[in-house]
Amino acid sequence: FRRNPGETEFHQAVVEVFDSLGPVLLKHPEFVDAAVLERLCEPERQIIFRVPWVDDAGTVQINRGFRVEFNSALGPFKGGLRFHPSVYLGIVKFLGFEQVFKNALTGMPIGGGKGGSDFDPKGKSDAEVMRFCQAFMTELYRHIGEYTDVPAGDIGVGGREIGYLFGQYKRITNRYESGVLTGKGISWGGSLVRPEATGYGAVLFAREMLRTRGLGFEGQRVIVSGAGNVAVHAIAKAQHFGATVVACSDSSGYVVDEAGIDVELLREVKEHERGRISEYADRRGAGAHFVAGGSIWDVGATVALPCATQNELDEAAAGALVRSGVLAVAEGANMPCTPEAVEVLQQAGVLFGPGKAANAGGVATSALEMQQNASRDSWSFEHTEQRLTEIMVGIHDRCAATADEYGVPGNYVAGANISGFVKVADAMLALGVV
């Protein structure tokens, strides 16, 4: 805490992981001797840079760019870029720290990193977003590469931004290095299923948790928070499996639609028109209504998938969900549940899938995109989705088996933390003090 003052989200993420590790360290004193925990908390490299760009009015704007290269014991640094006004070092480090364990859990050869900027894409023209992305990449390009560090998208960074970033990387380096970024468009090196992967993966993880109690998604009443990349695909998949998604949100409030969210309309409003969620309710008609602000979790559900942002589901929200009979909560977003909320859910016997396991489908499919780029191949949707499904089932089973092994059956938080940690720690030990 003294070493990293003010980085509250980073502290939260570290405490959450370390809380699970006592039994592992007793079993493996060699990790303590090699200062693995201390090394894990210190990123291998942290880059903070100025991003100057010119807006449509001709005014010079300055933003701050970050790339935190956290741990490369298992492979090149891998993790997304977030463009949001709330971004500062503490957020990038929390995300990068989580990413190390998440990537280990996927079983793919990828290390962990994260980056972004306090740039707010909301309300900016395409040309402004392009100029910002070009300025951002003009510094970032020297730190990344197919074998070094492979960024992707996150909040505020989707296909449009990845396109501008890739274009600038290609221009500066004079290399068509497809493997330097993931989340690319299909016609220029992207992978089918990558846009869907995080949301689909969260639903697949929740399905596996429900299965342990002899249940499925059929007939479940689901809340998905957010209306971005992760949320829309989680909604689509949950409804494909027979659930009804009754509510979703953005930062202005939430909509309730008891007939089930119309995914096409939602995508039209949020993805194509970049509009507000209230417009969904306006256009959907009688069945749906918009609530400004408030807590989406008060709507009540049997399955909850928080897919918006960190600390969006607190103790009171967890209490409301428990009272409404929630059976399972799977984190599509990173750290959306506060520690107090997780405690409430676990105490009530709710199946709880932490983000580093439940939302790992996105980065896993990014690794599949890297495989396709390396072999200059592109796989079918069916094949890629099949791989994603196998990966998510594998992550679920690994978490469950590890929780059993350490005497906390059904505790996916402990299972994910321990399983991810042991994999990274073993590699760090093998690689020596570096």
User: What's the N-to-C CA distance of the chain in angstroms?
Assistant: 23
Footprint (CB under 6 A) of ligand NDP, residues 351-370: 359, 362
Give the number of other CB atoms < 10 A from CB of residue 327: 18
What secondary structure letter does DSSP report for 182?
S
CB of 58 to ligand NDP, least distance (A): 27
Residues annotated within a binding site for NAD(+): 198, 229
**For ligand NDP, which residue has the nearest CB?**
228
Footprint (CB under 6 A) of ligand NDP, residues 293-332: 307-309, 312, 332
308-311: which pairs have CB atoms within 8 A and are 24 or more residues apart?
Answer: 308/225, 308/226, 308/228, 308/231, 308/249, 308/250, 308/251, 308/333, 308/336, 309/155, 309/226, 309/333, 309/336, 310/9, 310/91, 310/94, 310/334, 310/335, 310/336, 311/9, 311/335, 311/336, 311/337, 311/338
CA–CA gap between residue 131 and residue 165 (Å, rounded): 10
Site string for ligand NDP, 164-203 (x = CB under 6 A): ----------------------------------x-----
Instruction: List beta partners, residue 5.
Output: none
Select from 182, 220, 249, 338 the one that contacts ligand NDP (CB under 6 A).
Answer: 249
CA–CA gap between residue 74 and residue 389 (Å, rounded): 22
Total chain residues near ligand NDP (CB under 6 A): 25
Nearer to ligand NDP, 138 or 419 (CB): 419
| 426 touches 30 (CB < 8 A) | no
Verify binding: residue 228, ligand NDP, rule CB under 6 A: yes
Verify binding: residue 99, ligand NDP, rule CB under 6 A: no
Select from 68, 87, 135, 230 the one that contacts ligand NDP (CB under 6 A).
Answer: 230
Give, in degrees to the nearest 5, the angle at Cα 203 between 264 and 263.
5
Verify binding: residue 227, ligand NDP, rule CB under 6 A: yes
Q: What is the largest CA-CA distance in the chain?
A: 64
Nearer to ligand NDP, 315 or 405 (CB): 315
Select from 229, 302, 338, 373 the one that contacts ligand NDP (CB under 6 A).
Answer: 229
114 labelled catalytic: yes
Stretch of 6-14, 151-159, 314-322, 386-394 contacting ligand NDP, by CB under 6 A: 151-159
CA–CA gap between residue 248 and residue 245 (Å, rounded): 8
Separation in Å, CA 403 to CA 21, 326, 397: 12, 22, 10
For 348, the 3-state DSSP assignment is coil
Nearer to ligand NDP, 129 or 428 (CB): 129
Stretch of 205-213, 250-258, 283-291, 370-378 contacting ligand NDP, by CB under 6 A: 250-258
CB of 156 to ligand NDP, least distance (A): 5
| 104 touches 98 (CB < 8 A) | no
CB of 30 to ligand NDP, least distance (A): 32
Nearer to ligand NDP, 314 or 405 (CB): 314
Nearer to ligand NDP, 229 or 402 (CB): 229
Task: Render 370-383 in DSSP notation, one character per residue.
Answer: HHHHHTT----HHH
CB of 186 to ligand NDP, least distance (A): 16
Verify binding: residue 338, ligand NDP, rule CB under 6 A: no
CB of 406 to ligand NDP, least distance (A): 26
Given 93, 114, 184, 356, the catalytic residue:
114
Interaction site with ligand NDP (CB under 6 A): 153-156, 198, 225-231, 249-252, 307-309, 312, 332-334, 359, 362
Catalytic residues: 114
